[in-house]
């Protein structure tokens, strides 16, 4: 999101807090950031003064209260003129928020980061308050310059949800109020229309209707089970990624799903990823974990021997599961799961080879997404120098890695948005963003340059001078989470996949079971021999019902077999789009193979 839109949305979060505190005095306001489609603010209503409200208003706040809050926001907006910021001392800030434990916690964190920054001689974070009208909030800034921007914008409150303070389920559950916000009312209207269309394309709904995946209460939330059709879809995509990687010299490797905790202590995951690990204790008392990432395991495949510089790069690829202990409230269909399938690869190479290897990965990504039909944009996910405690390695190492990625983007003739604080704890990355058919943007593939993991695992090669030389490591995912990627393409295509992706490419429909089933079966067998994914529908049902089911299942082609087809030995073919043609079996199979080969 651009800065102006971010500032608009963040300003509206302030306005929301002002309205809530006006209606419910004593409410504890916590944090209110801008998000992709608007804003939210988290509140603790437990201490709110409800004495002036009637019995209905004193109940737990709900979506029914949003019109009242939104009305108050618009009333307050008429009195606002500008946002005024001022720096305050720790003592002043704590006096102002002495009755708000959430703000006091935030103040302590800011002060702690300031101390760390001072020791590192980095820029210090300031304690600042921003005021508009009668409302003041602890805030680092980023607001609109002219209040009229809020008056001209398109915005509304959308819904209420529960949210743990700081996202930690050990903390108190707060009330989160969400709002939508765009620069103009027309943009808001277009967004709401898109959301309505997205509901029709919801992958959870289509996944069940098209028999792609299911969930079981006995298996557990966040653990999808893939049907034969869904497995075909996954395999077609994964095989395509592998065919592309094979061209560039990648080799398949396989790794266990379980590891001793010592591997993750060395990699830094035990410290930095502690809350997301599924931990296991053996009967002998040894601590293990289900892997949340594959990179530490791949380092140990590289570390099995001493490599000469002549042997590099080493390129390893695995399609394998990783496991992350997400909060149950964050799980959503295929978008957020506990068991994540990754098409993961790691390149171990010399520093001088890194750019060439990253260019190759970029080419794989462009070829893959070009075939699927996604336009790509780019984001550089960088570390936050004010919070170095979140990352492995030194500031110098991070600066070098980030500059290499900037140079790569420039060399490819592209521009990238820079996102401070979005890097993982071990290295910066280029995130590839895909825009779907509804205009939504998704983070998909990644290229990540890592100088920290080779340092922690002492990964080297022997160079031309017979000396050990530190190598670098490149992390690359094309689809990333295959589950999440499939949720995107199911909604992108609305379940109507192109021929090469469709789990069922052709349905063979007999008009009469008695007269036409033998020839229908013959055609079905020929399609299967030609490596076409076909289904035979010889049931004793009306042809109109079979055609209706063919359309509901969004299969690309149907072959209708009746008296005419049995006599002429030609096929009547109906496409998903409704076009019809007559071809011989050989011509039809050749047509299908051309379309599949061209990724149509």
Q: Tell me which of 346, 386, 484, 533 is the catalytic residue.
A: 346
Q: Tell me which of 314, 342, 448, 505 is the catalytic residue.
A: 342
State the Cα angle at 488 between 487 and 494, rounded to 5°. 90
Instruction: Decide if 275 is catalytic.
Output: no
- Total count of residues recorded for the chain: 600
DSSP state of 471: -
Distance of alpha carbon 498 from alpha carbon 463, whole angstroms: 49
Return the CATH class of domain 3-186: alpha beta
Q: Please state the residue numbers annotated as binding site.
A: 295, 346, 475
Q: Tell me which of 72, 245, 269, 475 is the catalytic residue.
A: 475
* pTM over the 0.85 mark: no
Distance of alpha carbon 578 from alpha carbon 89, whole angstroms: 70
Residue spans of alpha helices (H) in 507-574: 513-529, 543-552, 563-568
Distance of alpha carbon 491 from alpha carbon 471, whole angstroms: 41
pLDDT tens per residue across all 600 residues of the chain: 678 899 999 999 999 999 999 999 999 999 999 998 999 999 999 876 555 555 455 456 889 999 999 999 999 999 998 899 899 999 999 999 999 999 999 999 988 877 665 554 445 567 899 999 999 999 988 898 889 999 999 999 999 999 899 888 889 999 999 999 999 999 999 999 988 888 888 999 999 999 999 999 999 999 999 999 999 999 999 999 999 999 999 999 999 999 999 999 998 888 877 788 899 999 999 999 999 999 999 999 999 999 999 999 999 999 999 999 987 777 889 999 999 999 999 999 999 999 999 999 999 999 999 998 888 999 888 888 777 777 777 888 888 888 889 988 888 889 888 888 878 777 888 899 998 888 888 889 999 998 888 999 999 999 999 999 999 999 999 999 999 999 999 999 999 999 999 999 999 999 987 788 899 999 999 999 999 999 999 888 899 999 999 999 999 999 999 999 988 988 999 999 889 999 999 999 999 999 999 887
Nearest to 440 by CA among 221, 195, 125, 250: 195
Instruction: Decide if 429 is catalytic.
Output: yes
Q: Tell me which of 234, 269, 324, 360 is the catalytic residue.
A: 324
Residue located via tokens 């295929």:
334
Instruction: Decide if 353 is catalytic.
Output: no
Q: What is the pLDDT of residue 526?
A: 95
Do 203-493 and 506-597 have matching folds? no
Helix, strand or coil for residue 278?
A: strand
In whole angstroms, how far apart are CA 112 and each of 105, 140, 154? 11, 15, 38
For residue 545, give the H/E element and its range. helix 543-552
- The residue extents of the domains of the chain are 3-186, 203-493, 506-597
Give the tokens for residue 343: 């098409």
Say if domain 203-493 classifies as CATH 3.30.930.10.
yes
Give the tokens for residue 46: 């437990």
Residue located via tokens 């209606």:
23
DSSP 80-149: ----EEEE--HHHHHHHTTT-HHHHHHHHHHHHHHHHHHHTTPPPPP-EEEEETTEEEE------S-THH
Q: Please state the residue numbers annotated as binding site for Zn(2+).
A: 295, 346, 475
Residue located via tokens 């003129």:
81
Phi, psi of 471, rounded to the nearest 5 degrees: -100, 175
Cβ contact 130:73 at 8 Å: no
Q: Tell me which of 42, 65, 137, 344 is the catalytic residue.
A: 344
Cβ contact 443:429 at 8 Å: no
Measured between alpha carbons, how far apart are the two ends of the chain, in Å?
Answer: 33
Instruction: Decide if 201 is catalytic.
Output: no
Phi, psi of 213, rounded to the nearest 5 degrees: -155, 170
Cα Rg of the chain, angstroms: 29
Instruction: Decide if 324 is catalytic.
Output: yes
| Strands 339-349 vs 375-382: parallel, antiparallel or unpaired | unpaired
In whole angstroms, how far apart are CA 497 and each of 120, 143, 494, 502, 547? 53, 43, 8, 5, 18
Cβ contact 12:74 at 8 Å: no
* Second-level CATH architecture of 506-597: 3-Layer(aba) Sandwich (3.40)
Instruction: Decide if 295 is catalytic.
Output: yes
Nearest to 502 by CA among 583, 576, 587, 435: 576
Q: What is the pLDDT of residue 68?
A: 95
Q: Tell me which of 14, 201, 429, 516 is the catalytic residue.
A: 429
Q: Tell me which of 295, 315, 386, 516 is the catalytic residue.
A: 295
Cα dihedral 194, 195, 199, 201, rounded to 10, equals: 40
């Amino acid at each position: 999101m651009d800065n102006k839109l971010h500032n608009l949305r963040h300003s509206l979060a302030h306005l929301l807090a002002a309205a809530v505190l006006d209606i419910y005095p004593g409410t504890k306001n916590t944090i209110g950031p801008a998000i992709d489609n608007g804003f939210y603010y988290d509140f603790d209503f437990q201490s709110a003064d409800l004495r002036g409200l009637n019995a209905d208003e004193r109940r737990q706040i709900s979506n029914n209260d949003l019109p009242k809050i939104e009305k108050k926001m618009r009333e307050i907006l008429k009195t606002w003129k500008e946002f005024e910021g001022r720096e305050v001392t720790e003592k002043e800030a704590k006096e102002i928020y002495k009755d708000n434990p959430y703000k006091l916690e935030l103040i302590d964190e800011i002060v702690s980061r300031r101390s760390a920054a001072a020791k590192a001689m980095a820029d210090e974070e300031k304690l600042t308050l921003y005021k508009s009208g009668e409302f003041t909030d602890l805030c680092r800034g980023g607001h609109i310059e002219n209040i009229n921007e809020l008056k001209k914008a398109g915005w509304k409150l959308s819904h209420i949800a529960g949210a743990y303070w700081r996202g930690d389920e050990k903390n108190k559950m707060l009330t989160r109020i969400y709002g939508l916000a765009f620069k103009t009312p027309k943009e808001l209207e277009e967004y709401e229309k898109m959301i309505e269309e997205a509901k029709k394309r919801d992958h959870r709904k289509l996944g069940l209707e098209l028999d792609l995946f299911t969930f079981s209460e006995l298996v557990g939330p966040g653990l999808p089970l893939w049907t034969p059709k869904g497995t075909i879809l996954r395999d077609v995509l994964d095989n395509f990624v592998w065919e592309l990687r094979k061209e560039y010299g990648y080799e398949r490797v396989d790794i266990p799903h379980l590891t001793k905790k010592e591997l993750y202590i060395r990699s830094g995951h035990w410290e930095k990823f502690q809350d997301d690990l599924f931990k296991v204790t053996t009967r002998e008392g040894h601590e293990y974990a289900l892997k949340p990432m594959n990179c530490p395991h791949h380092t140990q495949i590289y570390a099995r021997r001493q490599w000469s510089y002549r042997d590099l790069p080493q390129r390893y690829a695995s399609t394998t599961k990783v496991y992350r202990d997400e909060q149950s409230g964050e799980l959503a269909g295929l978008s957020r799961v506990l068991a994540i399938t990754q098409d993961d690869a790691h390149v171990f190479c010399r520093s001088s080879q890194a750019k060439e290897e990253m260019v190759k990965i970029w080419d794989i990504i462009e070829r893959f997404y070009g075939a699927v039909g996604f336009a790509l944009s780019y984001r550089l996910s960088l570390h936050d120098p004010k919070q170095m405690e979140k990352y492995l390695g030194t500031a110098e190492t991070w600066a070098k890695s980030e500059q290499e990625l900037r140079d790569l983007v420039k060399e490819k003739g592209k521009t990238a948005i820079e996102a401070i604080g979005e890097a993982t704890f071990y290295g910066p990355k280029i995130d590839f963003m895909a825009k779907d058919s509804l205009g939504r943007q998704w983070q998909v593939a990644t290229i990540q340059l890592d100088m920290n993991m080779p340092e922690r695992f002492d990964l080297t090669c022997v160079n031309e001078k017979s000396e050990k030389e530190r190598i670098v490591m490149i992390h690359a995912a094309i689809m990333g989470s295959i589950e999440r990627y499939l949720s995107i393409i199911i909604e992108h295509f609305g379940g109507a996949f192109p021929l090469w992706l469709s789990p069922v490419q052709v349905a063979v429909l007999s008009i009469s079971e008695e007269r036409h089933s033998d020839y229908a079966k013959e055609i079905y067998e020929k399609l299967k021999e030609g490596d076409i994914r076909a289904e035979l529908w010889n049931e004793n049902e009306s042809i109109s019902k079979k055609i209706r089911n063919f359309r509901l299942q969004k299969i690309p082609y149907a072959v209708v077999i009746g008296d005419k087809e049995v006599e002429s030995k030609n096929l009547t073919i109906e496409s998903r789009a409704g076009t019809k043609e007559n071809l011989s079996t050989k011509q039809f199979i050749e047509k299908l193979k051309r379309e599949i080969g061209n990724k149509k």
